[in-house]
């Protein structure tokens, strides 16, 4: 299976004029949260709103947290994001995918619409 990369727009929900387009964000079904590089968060002027302890391939890290509006394949969602000093790409985590109603088609290496559940 290859990697799924998709275009993603990130906007500061407090200042909608500040937006950033990532042409090839990486869908990471092993990540709970969406994570953006610190340089992108800074350019958007995102306010830090706490932190979260996360396990990575490098061990446990404490990452800053914020909120951002994400637009993916025509759908928008204001969601919790993490901010990394070491990443050089955006990782789209499963809470974002599920919240927007997407699933991963590994054979087609793409996102497909899925049903939102409230059971």
pLDDT recorded at residue 19: 97
Residue 68 within any structural domain of the chain: yes
Single pTM value for the model: 0.91
Residue 62 within any structural domain of the chain: yes
Residues of the chain with pLDDT under 50: 1
pLDDT recorded at residue 106: 87
Enclosing domain of residue 84: 5-109
For residues 27 and 100, what is the distance between their CA atoms, to the nearest angstrom?
A: 13
pLDDT recorded at residue 2: 62
In angstroms, the Cα distances linking 49 to 12, 29, 43, 83, 101 are 13, 24, 16, 11, 25
Residue 114 within any structural domain of the chain: no
Residue 42 within any structural domain of the chain: yes
CATH number at residue 102: 2.40.70.10
Residue 67 within any structural domain of the chain: yes
E runs forming strands in the chain: 5-12, 15-27, 34-37, 51-56, 59-72, 75-84, 91-92, 102-105, 110-113
Residue 100 within any structural domain of the chain: yes
pLDDT digits (tens, 9 = 90+) for 31-45: 999 999 999 999 999
Residue 118 within any structural domain of the chain: no
Q: How many domains does the chain have?
A: 1
Residue 115 within any structural domain of the chain: no
């Amino acid at each position: 299976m290859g990697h799924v990369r998709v275009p993603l727009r990130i906007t500061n929900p407090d200042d909608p004029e500040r937006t950033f387009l990532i042409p090839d964000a990486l869908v990471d079904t092993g990540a709970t949260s969406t994570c953006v590089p610190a340089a992108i968060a800074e350019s958007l002027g995102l306010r830090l709103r706490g932190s979260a302890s996360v396990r990575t391939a490098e061990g446990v890290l404490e990452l800053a947290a914020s909120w951002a509006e994400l637009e993916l394949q025509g759908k928008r969602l204001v969601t919790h994001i993490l901010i990394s000093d070491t990443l050089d790409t955006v990782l789209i985590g499963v809470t974002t995918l599920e919240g927007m109603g997407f699933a991963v088609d590994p054979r087609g290496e793409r996102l497909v619409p899925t049903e939102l559940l409230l059971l």
